Amino acid sequence: MVFDINEDLEGTTVVEDDEVRVEAPRSGMEFDSMKDLTAYYKQYAKQEGFGVRIQRTRKDDEGRPVYVTVGCARGGKYNPTNNNISKPRPTTRTDCKVRVNATLSKNDKWVLTTVENVHNHITVSPKKTRFLRSHKHLDEYSQRILDLNDRADIRMNKNFYSLVVDAGGFENLQFQEKDCRNFIDKARHLRLGKGGGEALNQYFRRMRDRNDGFVSSMDLDDEGRLRNVFWADARSRAAYEYFGDVVTFDTTYLTNRYGMPFAPFVGVNHHGQSILLGAGLLSNEDTETFMWLFRMWLDCMNGRAPKAMITDQDRAMKSAIAIVFPETCHRYCLWHIMRKLPEKLGSHAQFNAGLKTDLQTALYDSHTSGEFEESWGQVISKYDLHGNKWLQSLYEERSFWVPAYLKSVFWAGMSTTQRSESMNAFFDGYVHSGTILKEFVDQFDNALRKKYQVLDEISTDDHIKTLNYCVYYNEEEVEVKCTCALFQMRGILCRHVLRVCQLKKINVLPDVYVLDRWRKDLKRTYTLVRSSYDDQRDRADARNYERVLKRCSKLATKISSDNEKISAFLRVIDEFETKCEGSSLHESAYEQIKAKTNVVLDKGKKILSPNVDRGKGRPPSKRKVPPVEKLPTKRKKPVLIV
327 and 416 co-located in one domain = yes
Quickly state the pLDDT bin for 558 (edges 50, 70, 90). Answer: confident
Domain-embedded: residue 246: yes
Domain-embedded: residue 374: yes
The reported pLDDT for the residue numbered 444 is 62
User: CA torsion sign, 395 to 396 to 399 to 400?
Assistant: negative
Quickly state the pLDDT bin for 188 (edges 50, 70, 90). Answer: low
Does residue 103 carry a pLDDT above 90? yes
183 and 200 co-located in one domain = no
The reported pLDDT for the residue numbered 69 is 93
Domain boundary among 527, 543, 559: 527
Percent of the chain with pLDDT strictly greater than 90: 8
How far is residue 529's CA from residue 213's CA, in Å, rounded to a whole number?
A: 9
Domain-embedded: residue 340: yes
How far is residue 178's CA from residue 146's CA, in Å, rounded to a whole number?
A: 13
Domain boundary among 105, 135, 165: 135
Does residue 147 carry a pLDDT above 50? yes
How is residue 516 annotated by DSSP? G
Average pLDDT over residues 493-511: 78
| 3-state DSSP assignment of residue 635 | coil
How far is residue 506's CA from residue 498's CA, in Å, rounded to a whole number?
A: 9
118 and 159 co-located in one domain = no
How far is residue 249's CA from residue 262's CA, in Å, rounded to a whole number?
A: 10
326 and 343 co-located in one domain = no
116 and 174 co-located in one domain = no
Average pLDDT over residues 463-485: 70
How far is residue 232's CA from residue 267's CA, in Å, rounded to a whole number?
A: 14
Could you tell me which residues come within 8 angstroms of residue 91 by beta carbon, excluding any fewer than 6 positions away?
A: 1, 2, 3, 78
The most confident of 184-188, 316-320, 607-611, by mean pLDDT? 316-320
316 and 327 co-located in one domain = yes
Domain-embedded: residue 617: yes
Average pLDDT over residues 174-203: 72
Average pLDDT over residues 596-619: 51
Q: Residue 256 belongs to what domain range?
A: 194-333+410-458+584-631
Would you say 422 and 454 are in contact if contact means Cβ atoms under 8 Å apart?
A: yes
Residue 42: exposure state from Cβ atoms within 10 A (0-12, 13-18, ≥19):
middle
How far is residue 224's CA from residue 605's CA, in Å, rounded to a whole number?
A: 8
Would you say 50 and 73 are in contact if contact means Cβ atoms under 8 Å apart?
A: yes
Quickly state the pLDDT bin for 429 (edges 50, 70, 90). Answer: very low
49 and 156 co-located in one domain = no
Count of structural domains within the chain: 5
The reported pLDDT for the residue numbered 632 is 52
Average pLDDT over residues 126-141: 83
309 and 434 co-located in one domain = yes
What are 345-377's pLDDT values in tens digits?
888 888 888 888 888 888 888 888 888 999 999
More confident residue, 78 or 415: 78
Average pLDDT over residues 59-85: 83
How is residue 520 annotated by DSSP? S
Of 89-93, 107-111, 173-177, 459-463, the range with the lowest mean pLDDT is 459-463
Does residue 591 carry a pLDDT above 60? no
157 and 240 co-located in one domain = no
Domain-embedded: residue 553: no
The reported pLDDT for the residue numbered 574 is 85
Does residue 611 carry a pLDDT above 80? no
Of 128-132, 177-181, 250-254, the range with the lowest mean pLDDT is 250-254
The reported pLDDT for the residue numbered 70 is 92
Does residue 449 carry a pLDDT above 90? no
157 and 145 co-located in one domain = yes
The reported pLDDT for the residue numbered 618 is 47
Average pLDDT over residues 3-25: 52
Residue 5: exposure state from Cβ atoms within 10 A (0-12, 13-18, ≥19):
middle
201 and 314 co-located in one domain = yes
Domain-embedded: residue 290: yes
Would you say 187 and 515 are in contact if contact means Cβ atoms under 8 Å apart?
A: no
Domain-embedded: residue 436: yes
How is residue 475 annotated by DSSP? T
115 and 69 co-located in one domain = yes
Domain boundary among 92, 110, 135: 135
More confident residue, 91 or 599: 91
Domain-embedded: residue 546: no
Of 66-70, 103-107, 436-440, 457-461, the range with the lowest mean pLDDT is 457-461
Average pLDDT over residues 220-243: 82
Q: For residue 495, give Cα distances in angstroms to 25, 299, 456, 500.
A: 93, 40, 22, 9
How far is residue 279's CA from residue 230's CA, in Å, rounded to a whole number?
A: 6
